[in-house]
């Protein structure tokens, strides 16, 4: 069984349910998958790393 932390965009609350217990709207995955075959976030992570290195 897979558990994923989800988040309601409206209330900004974390939940494990697909729908927010407060407002009832659909929640979204709070965290991107760590290992994605497409690695959509790879480029973003690299940019972030560069920025951090520069500012330190």
Q: How far is the CB of 20 from Zn ion (least distance, A)?
A: 3
- Structure letter (DSSP) for residue 19: B
The residue range among 16-24, 29-37, 38-46, 47-55 that interacts with Zn ion, by the rule CB under 5 A, is: 16-24
Burial-class residue 34 by CB neighbours within 10 Å (0-12, 13-18, 19+).
exposed
Of 22-30, 31-39, 40-48, the window that binds Zn ion (rule: CB under 5 A) is 22-30
**In terms of CB distance, is 6 or 8 closer to Zn ion?**
8
Query: What residues have CB less than 8 Å from 5, skipping those under 6 apart?
Result: 14, 15, 16, 29, 30, 31
Comparing CB distances to Zn ion, the nearer of 22 and 40 is 22
């Amino acid at each position: 069984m897979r558990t994923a932390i989800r988040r309601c965009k409206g209330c900004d609350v974390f939940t494990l349910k697909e729908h927010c217990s407060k407002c009832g709207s659909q929640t979204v995955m709070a965290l991107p998958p760590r290992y994605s075959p497409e690695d959509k976030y790879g480029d973003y992570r690299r940019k972030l790393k560069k920025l951090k290195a520069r500012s330190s």
